[in-house]
Structure 1
Amino acid sequence: MDSVQEQPQVVKSQETASNLEEKPNSSIKEMVISTVVLILFTCAGNSSFPLFTQYINSCYWEVYSNGTISTNNQSPCRANVSDEASGVEVRVQQSTSLETLKICLCFLIPSVFVNMFVGSYSDHIGRKALFLLPMLGSTCKYVGFLLVVKFHLNLNFLLIGTLMDGLSGSIFTFILANMAYAADVTTTHSARTLAIVITDCSLSIATALGQIMTGFLIQKLDYFYASVIYTTIILLAIAIVIFGITETVKKTEVKELSPVVHFKKVFGFYFNKSRDNKRSIFIVYVIVFALLSIGLSGKYTIEILYELGRPFCWNPVKIGYYGAYTTVFMTICGLLAIKLGPVCVRVEILAVAGMFLQMGSLILEGLARTDAMLYSVPLVASISSVAVPVIRSVLSGMVESHEQGAIFSSMATVDTICAFMGSTVLASLYRATVGTMRGMAFLVLAAIAFIAALLTMLVIVKLPRQPSYEQILSPPEDEKAPNPNQNHYGTIPKGENNTSC
């Protein structure tokens, strides 16, 4: 009688796991190819915002100065020191901030809705689609920019290509694809954490490379040829995905096409009462992740404008050098911390230390008045880059193998919503305070980092240390009949309590 009752559960488990390819014995090849794709696309894709910002800034300098100031080799705000020129510089900063805000809204609002579902669908249709979709959108964005620069079109035409990028999920879907792919090709929790950290660090290195390239391409060539080069790089990445990436998910029929079903899969981690005390940890950590996302996106939106304006008045090359130096230094510190730190302390404690250091660096940046103070910001930040990948890894480790697309989709959605909030609020705040206290926005970001650190400390104090499990298993999806010897992390070693975080 019991065997008759258990039979449907076995079939259901096999059905659930049928869309997962067998994990490869070695994930090195897959990780190398996906990292190459990640570096190529991120280098080109993430360079669009500094490229667009500096082009818009140069356009407004020509408008407000009646074309009398050249912006090719020197920052125009340094070329004029009169009160009248200072007033022009403030108006340029305000107008540029408004235009960048419009661009952010155009790609962030559609991305929110796209990223709610694509991760869950990718558990059925495969990961390649996740890679290709944002690449095609980014290509459309650069084509629109090429036309605006070539034919001197109104800046509002930039919004068309940016909207296409948003409808593709933008960089958020691409990050989702890489994180889910890294989870697919790894077989242990330690390997997964390392793979996610390497992916996050590769994003940073590629961003740094793109920042250096952007400065030199603007200085040596111009905005048009810079965008041509970046478009070519994206097309190369598309070719590698089509012919080089190994699909890690067997394509199966999506039995439920309703977005509501996939919405529940993506956000069920935070509302499903059957997960018991794990639901609270999901909620707290996703709030921490949201706060960190607001800080990162908000800083990214205003930092270039901050460097272009007084008292720094940096040119494109100097901005590129600083961005590369910041990214590479913090990435190296983060890698060393994540590799050596867990020997002594929990990774969550490393994340808290990173958040406090991030808070200190933001305060320093907001109060900076000289180049030396600004160059000291990365030194203070140091290991702050570990916070986001640690939170990603913890959330990924709390779900089963066949739920990786859904959990990363939920993080991508939260990331997109918070990027929208951070970009909107911080750009508006910077625009309102640029004439009085330019660094006010950075001080607000420091307060956000402080709140995130406090919440993470609360989790560490209230909940016990996670047990370490080696093999990632995929238990039956039917939660009404759980195996008493398994939890969401795998088989529980004998003698240990069934305590999950």
Structure 2
Amino acid sequence: MSNNEKKPLLKDKDNSNGSKFGYKYFLLLLLMIFFYSSMAINFYTISQWIQYMMRKQILQGKNINSTSVCQGTNQSDPEYAQYKQVEQKTALWQMFNSLASTVPGLIATAILPSISDNIGRKSLFIIPTTALLMKQISYALIMYYEWDIIWVVVSSLVEGSLGSIYIYFSAVYSYIADITTPGRHRTLAITIYEGSFLICFTLSGLAAGYFIEFKGYVIPMMTCVCLNFIAWCIVIFLIPETHDKQNRAKKVPMCIHFKRVTEFYTSRVFSGKRSAYILLITAYFVAELTSSHRSSLEMLYQLGKPFCWPSEEIGLFSAARHATEGFAGLVLIAPLKNCFSEINIAVLSAAFNGGSYVLEAFAKTDLILYLVPIPATFSFLMIPMIKSIMSSMTPADKQGSLFSSIITVQVLCTITATFLFNTIYSSTLSIFHGFVFLVLAGFCGVVFMILIIFAKTQTVEIEEPKLERIVTN
């Protein structure tokens, strides 16, 4: 064996795919198309079905599918008071349904992603796709037989106990961390994925609005079942395991997994980065608080006065907003990365997000409301930027634990936002319809300030990928 043959080659494991995105990434995008399309149509269908049932119960068959009562200005009209009751009860039941999907999953969300550092990622995809499929089948039956709305909440409760879609989110980000290198490569991968998600949500929302208007509620929900079944098949037969054995953490007792979720913010092991992690997770918490419940609030806002929009117009607006945000993720992220750092992009995003909420709060006409997607174009970028920075600071064997902590915070945000903003919305209807959006703009200001503090006081240390030593024979 010659000296040249014995020469060790240093090979960057994560760079085996170079800076390009390989087939594993495109399989993930394929899965996303079916899973998120199913989830988006499900969201719009169940939200509007709840209002349909409230109209049917409160209006007792009168004007169930009409907007005439909503558009009326005679506040002494008994039907006007009934419609206000419809709005308030719809917000209340949507809050119950959202809480049922999130609160029971807190424990599962905190444990399962961390365990994936030991056993691999694929199980994290199987659990939520199966749980969502079961829920959608039960939703279809509830709608077909027009059972009581409480059964919608029960179905969500069962799905939520398995971690709901938040386990899926954690699986996605851990999967991306496994197949990308820290820094620009991972930032692009996360942002393109989230931009693609928004485009997918856009098209699904647009289709859902017209679908519901002309086909009712049962057929759209059965479409969700079919789409999610395809996603389930992709997970079972196509999605590969990406967390290599040499990068897996050692098996530990269950209680240690809880500790792993918080060690980035409390452990002395991360003492040099702890303040950076704390600032970023705080910014992420408030950023998610401003974003996680936006679509639900906008739907309630548009269904009520002064807009009184039908299903297809709600879908059109949602498509417009998500399309502009997706455009920023897919098209603008590369040139933005060439001009700004990740933290500066996040600061810019927080400012634009706050501006979009102020415009939405004071919108009184359809035209003004349709201008909201323009400042909202950059609004979603702050969240993937924060995730990318935190992931780049973290070793490969702790990515699952990191995203477990991030997704746990996301669940807490969803619970908080659902209760807080639905309560604010229903309580301020008689004062100012857009008040809740001013509150959200204030939270965007908080995110802006935290990110400025981070930019001025912290230096990001990128965790380099592991190197494998290969000897040629």
TM-score by length of 2: 0.91
1:203–1:184 CA distance, 2 compared to 1 (3 A) = same
2:96 is the alignment partner of 1:75 = no
- The CA deviation string for residues 138-172 of structure 1, in whole angstroms up to 9 with x for no partner, is 11221221121111211101112101221222221
Paired residue for 2:28, among 30, 34, 49?
Answer: 34
2:215 is the alignment partner of 1:224 = no
User: 1:222 offset after TM fit, Å?
Assistant: 1.4
2:269 is the alignment partner of 1:274 = yes
Contact 1:98 1:427 in 2 (8 A): yes
Contact 2:325 2:379 in 1 (8 A): yes
Contact 1:361 1:381 in 2 (8 A): yes
Counterpart in the other structure of 2:8: none
Residue 173 of structure 2 aligns to which amino acid in structure 1? M
Counterpart in the other structure of 1:206: 200
Contact 1:189 1:472 in 2 (8 A): no
- The CA deviation string for residues 427-467 of structure 1, in whole angstroms up to 9 with x for no partner, is 11111112221111111111111001101000111124x46
Paired residue for 1:419, among 405, 414, 419?
Answer: 414
Residue 422 of structure 1 aligns to which amino acid in structure 2? A
Contact 1:338 1:347 in 2 (8 A): no
- The CA deviation string for residues 281-320 of structure 1, in whole angstroms up to 9 with x for no partner, is 0001000000011111232331111110011111111111
User: 1:77 offset after TM fit, Å?
Assistant: 4.1
Counterpart in the other structure of 2:240: 246
| Partner Cα separation in structure 1 for residue 159 and residue 288 of structure 2 | 20
Counterpart in the other structure of 1:183: 177
2:360 is the alignment partner of 1:365 = yes
Counterpart in the other structure of 1:292: 287
Counterpart in the other structure of 1:197: 191
User: 1:330 offset after TM fit, Å?
Assistant: 1.8
1:442–1:436 CA distance, 2 compared to 1 (3 A) = same
Gaps of 5+ in 2: 1-12, 469-473
Residue 236 of structure 2 aligns to which amino acid in structure 1? I
SS at match of 2:293: helix
| Partner Cα separation in structure 2 for residue 76 and residue 24 of structure 1 | 59
Residue 220 of structure 1 aligns to which amino acid in structure 2? F
Paired residue for 1:119, among 105, 109, 113?
Answer: 113
2:348 is the alignment partner of 1:353 = yes
Residue 445 of structure 1 aligns to which amino acid in structure 2? L
Residue 238 of structure 2 aligns to which amino acid in structure 1? G
Residue 301 of structure 1 aligns to which amino acid in structure 2? S
Residue 217 of structure 2 aligns to which amino acid in structure 1? Y
User: 1:79 offset after TM fit, Å?
Assistant: 5.9
1:87–1:379 CA distance, 2 compared to 1 (3 A) = same
Counterpart in the other structure of 2:137: 143
| Partner Cα separation in structure 2 for residue 329 and residue 179 of structure 1 | 23
User: 1:256 offset after TM fit, Å?
Assistant: 4.5
1:325–1:102 CA distance, 2 compared to 1 (3 A) = same
User: 1:382 offset after TM fit, Å?
Assistant: 2.0
Contact 1:117 1:409 in 2 (8 A): yes
| Partner Cα separation in structure 2 for residue 467 and residue 249 of structure 1 | 23
Greater CA drift, 170-179 or 444-453 = 170-179
1:297–1:121 CA distance, 2 compared to 1 (3 A) = same
Counterpart in the other structure of 1:170: 164
Residue 465 of structure 2 aligns to which amino acid in structure 1? I
Counterpart in the other structure of 2:6: none
Counterpart in the other structure of 1:456: 451
Q: How do 1:301-316 and structure 2 match up within 5 A? A: 301-316=296-311
User: 1:275 offset after TM fit, Å?
Assistant: 1.7
Contact 1:134 1:169 in 2 (8 A): yes
SS at match of 1:352: helix
Q: How do 1:318-329 and structure 2 match up within 5 A? A: 318-329=313-324
Contact 1:21 1:250 in 2 (8 A): no
Contact 1:176 1:412 in 2 (8 A): yes
Residue 206 of structure 1 aligns to which amino acid in structure 2? C
User: 1:36 offset after TM fit, Å?
Assistant: 0.9
Paired residue for 1:154, among 124, 135, 148?
Answer: 148
Residue 33 of structure 2 aligns to which amino acid in structure 1? I
| Partner Cα separation in structure 2 for residue 474 and residue 267 of structure 1 | 27
| Partner Cα separation in structure 2 for residue 53 and residue 247 of structure 1 | 35
Contact 1:45 1:171 in 2 (8 A): no
* Larger RCO (alpha carbons 8 Å, 6+ apart): 2
| Partner Cα separation in structure 1 for residue 439 and residue 90 of structure 2 | 21
| Partner Cα separation in structure 2 for residue 260 and residue 21 of structure 1 | 30
Contact 2:37 2:200 in 1 (8 A): yes
User: 1:216 offset after TM fit, Å?
Assistant: 1.7
Gaps of 5+ in 1: 1-19, 476-501
Contact 1:348 1:390 in 2 (8 A): yes
| Partner Cα separation in structure 1 for residue 275 and residue 71 of structure 2 | 56
User: 1:257 offset after TM fit, Å?
Assistant: 5.7
- The CA deviation string for residues 231-287 of structure 1, in whole angstroms up to 9 with x for no partner, is 110000010111111111257999656332001112111101232231000001000
SS at match of 2:298: helix
Percent identity, aligned pairs only, is 27
1:440–1:301 CA distance, 2 compared to 1 (3 A) = same
Residue 35 of structure 1 aligns to which amino acid in structure 2? L
Residue 192 of structure 1 aligns to which amino acid in structure 2? R
| Partner Cα separation in structure 2 for residue 255 and residue 28 of structure 1 | 28
| Partner Cα separation in structure 2 for residue 61 and residue 421 of structure 1 | 27
2:429 is the alignment partner of 1:445 = no
TM-score by length of 1: 0.86
1:275–1:381 CA distance, 2 compared to 1 (3 A) = same
1:473–1:251 CA distance, 2 compared to 1 (3 A) = closer
Aligned length: 452
Residue 133 of structure 1 aligns to which amino acid in structure 2? I
Counterpart in the other structure of 1:491: none
Paired residue for 2:101, among 85, 102, 107?
Answer: 107
Contact 2:71 2:308 in 1 (8 A): no
Contact 1:290 1:418 in 2 (8 A): yes
Paired residue for 1:134, among 128, 134, 140?
Answer: 128
| Partner Cα separation in structure 1 for residue 296 and residue 403 of structure 2 | 24
